[in-house]
A and B are shown apart, each in its own frame.
Chain A
Amino acid sequence: MAKSSGSNLNSAVNVSELIAENKKKKSINNYMEKLVPAILFLLASITVLTTIGILYTLISQAVHFFMEIPILDFFTGTELKPLSQNPEFGILPLLNGTIFSSLIAILVAGPIGIMSAIYLSEYASDKLRRILKPLLEVLAGIPTIVYGFFAFTFVTPLIRSIWPQVEATNILSPGIVMGVMIIPMIASLSEDAMTSVPNGIREGSLAMGTTKLETTIKVVIPAAFSGIMASFVLAISRAIGETMIVTIASGSSKNFTFDLTQSMQTMTAYIVEVSGGEAPAGSTLYYSLYAVALTLFVFTLIMNLLAKYISRKFREEY
């Protein structure tokens, strides 16, 4: 059947024979065929190996710390005085700082991010969306140290001009600025979630005589709920891990306080402070770094697992 019957165009060429010939040359290719997945596997395992390596380092060093400071004291202690004559290592002031700054950030970024997402996905024209979305993502690309200075030299003075009790370093200002930093993340991921809601569902709602706003609130947002929640959790996790903004604008006070106008230190800022100073290797101070870093690691891990869980649990099928 491979013979080009009748036609004298290329009648000398027999395609099936050519293919058979080429197949014989393929033995080298077969070798490659097996080698390539192995190489790809090795490359892919780099990230996994790195994670395991980090975890190993953190745990093996933190063990030294917990030999000196009982684990319970560490997690329930409200005093953090690493440099004092009688050092105390309670992590609560740092947990407090981390939770407060992240909470402020999400309170700022949540509403603004979701409103932006609604606008982009439901109201903006295609043309406008194509301009606005990349602009929004530029905001996510600004180095965090720039945000830090922005918080310290612009936002803090601004807050203090309205509310004089606020101290020069405080948790409020970096919290707000961190919020601004994570707006693009929430807006962009939520927008993706909302855009992937099929148009048929919107039409089904609109055809029942509902307004666009009703359709957005009652149908589109619930349908995109898992994606929106996942964006929140990822954004919180980003805020928890954020370092530069809080280091610069919140100072290094280790008070256990709930007063937003005061300086608080986050886990990340503590790590920066201690590793920047001269903590003698082998000292409790030195090992405390690893204990805090391990706590931070577990914190963000939990948030990421939570994001996974939410997007699986609430995933809408359409």
Chain B
Amino acid sequence: MSMATDNKVQIEVSNNHTTTENNTTQKRVVYDTKNLNLWYSENHALKDINLEMKENEVTAIIGPSGCGKSTYIKTLNRMVELVPGVSTTGSIAYKGNNILDKAMNVEDLRTRVGMVFQKPNPFPKSIYENVAYGPKIHGIKKKALLDDIVEKSLRGAAIWDEVKDRLNENAYGLSGGQQQRICIARCLAIEPDVILMDEPTSALDPISTLKIEELIKELKQKYTIIIVTHNMQQAARISDRTVFMLNGEVVEFSETDQLFSNPKDKRTEDYITGRFG
């Protein structure tokens, strides 16, 4: 594993995080997870998770394969329910409303909370139709308005220049990295508050990865971003706070620079120095 060569000293933490420490008190809590437990039938996949995620921050979730990162992030927009036999206890307050409450309308929640997946999954439609899909399905019909939204979203996802002359071509003709940015643009088109990303760069080459990381840093101005990543350097580069998970539990949750330079838990230290995982 590539991270085996890293140790906490070598991980460079970019400077922009230092300012966040001063601002944290003013930031609103977007997601407040309390005593969350989740089972896939008998498999206890999430154990007593307690986390607070703040507005306009990038929160990274790291941890070894199978520790429950995807499960947790998919609970935040209730996509996890698509798996039959899932049950949960505890609560996740999204801006004060418990989203695990049966009364919560999942369509409304998912309109506010976008998601980008590990494998780019554009629709087999034109680039334009991919981005216009969300606004259209939520009732926006005016062509001029849709054109604006499409351009704005593609610009927001830093891909406008690459595709502006081929909006009517199938999105599958694009490279993996471009497809992933189309998926981000598709998300932005309905102006969500939160964007969930589950290992969005793990299927991409280093250059595309870099572009998406740059993009994430920019998106943070307007959106709250929660990103699962397998790659610790990535977490260090782009996130304000980092969650370290192990076997379905949160081991440590702190400021990113703090977690990487001065982990409180022995297991975190072992993981980030590459002693396991």
Contacts and interface: CB of A to CB of B under 8 A. Distances in A.
Contact of A208 (B84, B125, B133): B133
Contacts of B122: 204
Interface in B101-151: 106-112, 114-115, 117, 119, 121-125, 133-134, 137-138
Interface stretch (B51-59, B61-69, B182-190, B264-272): B182-190
A36 interface: no
B79 interface: yes
A200 B117 contact: yes
Nearest to B115: A207
A41 interface: no
B128 to A, nearest CB: 14
A222 B133 CA distance: 13
A224 to B, nearest CB: 10
Contacts of A206: 79, 82, 110
Nearest to B84: A125
Nearest to B120: A200
Contacts of A198: 121
Contacts of A200: 117, 119, 121
Nearest to B122: A204
Given A200-B121, A222-B124, A209 B79 contact: no
A223 B123 contact: yes
B94 interface: no
Interface in A205-238: 205-211, 214, 218-219, 222-223
A34 to B, nearest CB: 42
Contacts of B107: 209-211
Contacts of B138: 209
A205 B125 CA distance: 13
B46 to A, nearest CB: 19
A201 interface: yes
A31 interface: no
Interface in B174-233: 183, 186-187, 190
B172 A318 contact: yes
B77 interface: yes
Nearest to A215: B137
Nearest to B138: A209
B117 A204 contact: yes
A209 B125 contact: no
B170 interface: yes
A208 B187 contact: yes
